[in-house]
Structure 1
């Protein structure tokens, strides 16, 4: 039996103790390939990656171990000032060949979310367990990206809800077993393939004691949903250093409550309603952008509550609304993002009400 979607999310408040002088949030960077000849949409060149890592070092960012930092945030423990984490998705060999030497030279820890089927099949463009063991000795951590990199919300033709959920559970369990067998450890973290999840999958992840990342952008804090955490893409169109600097200096949007309407878009334009915490903010400077549509329409319901609406429905696929707002210092932007999936019948997605 599939659980019902949460249409609104109450965002937890941070404890103020011990966090006044330290960072209570974490930007997480997401990469894939480090290569000049792989698909540009998911790649950075070695030169671009070097530029990014040099900036982190020169600007005195503190690159932290992701799993440890997330555990600290959940416990309301302070992170170092200018803390940031580095991640990769997919088990591409270019991470070892071109990315790892750059990270090792700077002594930066990093996490790679691996899909294990190509590793087990010894495919030449993918990492080997021996390479991963070598990277472990210099700050590399390897986490779950499923076995076969499936769309986790799509069922096989004729598959029951129970069989689908069992198959997804096996996708996670097999990777966890392989991590323990080959690397002697697992950080109990997952990156959803294509960033797609729903309440049922997130509850499964929680039951397994795991934390997981979607593909919405933003920064993590104690009030985040730890079964659907944000990251900032830093490859392809997002690889410009000027863009990266803005993201690295972002803070979590100071929200008390968000209402998104669920994980799936329909033939109507999507909308989100955001309720802000008490405080002094530049709310008049809040701007929300819709994938491929430009600015969203903002309707203020009260002084602290706004609804952002897309101008037209999304096409089939994933779409998002990103909202930003400068803080009073002008040095940082508050950041919020939400992703919806617009399905078509032939794709076999689970019930949109699941």
Structure 2
């Protein structure tokens, strides 16, 4: 089943480099994709729904989809959130808690996080500082996993169960520490749609690029 990976939901700045342009989906294209998914009978589910289905065999809708937004940019609230509400779609936002704590104007505020959390938007961890977690000692990794989890839980009153690996980087050591830190699963940047109970800490996703309209979304889902 498709787990869609978004980043910025906004037009890129005029001086944006190729990376920023690739990560920036204009709101009108995001809305067109949501409209298409709804019209085609897709139903948004949560990562918790997926994990329960994989572990217990609980039923999912005939055409499930998971919407994820990485990094916790401010436009997740100003642009994506109103459209998700408009189309009745659930989503998961992975936040870098250090950016929120620092009141970085490009990122969400804790008030925005709390509001979205109360309206079918799951707020999950993207670490504290977005470091490369590979080849790090256990204490460093534990801090990034636990402190980010605790910060979100303190502001939302909801338990955090999912991690998005910073920049998609992880190793076996990171994976081994996740269950003890209270995580049920983690998402990667690996392309694909085949999920099973043996890869809960390596869930694959579909990257939505900045130029993707409905046609490209359909092609991407169909390819896998």
Q: Does 2:169 correspond to 1:188?
A: no
- Report the aligned-residue RMSD: 1.6
Unaligned 5+ segments in structure 1 are 1-25, 156-163, 250-332, 336-354
Q: Does 2:154 correspond to 1:165?
A: no
The structure carrying a bigger strand percent of its residues is 1
Q: Tell me the SS of whatever aligns to 1:36.
A: coil
Q: Which entry has the higher C-alpha Rg, 1 or 2?
A: 1
Q: Tell me the SS of whatever aligns to 2:3.
A: strand
Q: Tell me the SS of whatever aligns to 1:79.
A: coil
1:90 CA drift (Å): 0.4
Scaled by the length of structure 2, the TM-score of the pair is 0.91
Q: Tell me the SS of whatever aligns to 1:190.
A: strand
Summarize the Cα distance change of 1:66–1:223 in structure 2 as closer, same or farther, 3 Å threshold.
closer
Q: Which residue of 2 aligns with 1:139?
A: 120
**Contact kept? 1:107, 1:138, Cα under 8 Å:** no
Q: Deviations over 1:206-236 (max 9, x none)?
A: 3334111111011143344111110111132
1:189 CA drift (Å): 0.1
Q: Which residue of 2 aligns with 1:243?
A: 216
Q: Which residue of 2 aligns with 1:205?
A: 178
Q: Which residue of 2 aligns with 1:35?
A: 10
Q: Tell me the SS of whatever aligns to 1:214.
A: strand
**Contact kept? 2:142, 2:181, Cα under 8 Å:** no
Q: Which residue of 1 aligns with 2:133?
A: 152
Scaled by the length of structure 1, the TM-score of the pair is 0.59
Q: Deviations over 1:188-214 (max 9, x none)?
A: 100001111111111111333411111
Unaligned 5+ segments in structure 2 are 14-19
1:82 CA drift (Å): 0.7
Per mean C-alpha deviation after superposition, the further-off stretch among 190-199 and 146-155 is 146-155
Q: Tell me the SS of whatever aligns to 2:2.
A: strand
In 1, the alpha carbon distance for the partners of 2:118 and 2:167 equals: 29
In 2, the alpha carbon distance for the partners of 1:131 and 1:245 equals: 31
Q: Tell me the SS of whatever aligns to 2:35.
A: helix
In 1, the alpha carbon distance for the partners of 2:219 and 2:66 equals: 15
In 2, the alpha carbon distance for the partners of 1:34 and 1:78 equals: 31
> 81, 103, 108: which is aligned to 1:100?
81
1:106 CA drift (Å): 1.0
Q: Deviations over 1:90-133 (max 9, x none)?
A: 01001101111110111111100111111001111110111112
In 2, the alpha carbon distance for the partners of 1:220 and 1:173 equals: 28
Q: Which residue of 2 aligns with 1:218?
A: 192
In 1, the alpha carbon distance for the partners of 2:207 and 2:7 equals: 9
1:176 CA drift (Å): 1.0
**Contact kept? 1:34, 1:94, Cα under 8 Å:** yes
**Contact kept? 2:22, 2:209, Cα under 8 Å:** yes
In 2, the alpha carbon distance for the partners of 1:71 and 1:203 equals: 21
Q: Which residue of 2 aligns with 1:70?
A: 51
**Contact kept? 1:32, 1:43, Cα under 8 Å:** yes
Aligned residue pairs total 217
Q: Tell me the SS of whatever aligns to 2:199.
A: coil
Summarize the Cα distance change of 1:223–1:136 in structure 2 as closer, same or farther, 3 Å threshold.
closer
**Contact kept? 2:49, 2:60, Cα under 8 Å:** no
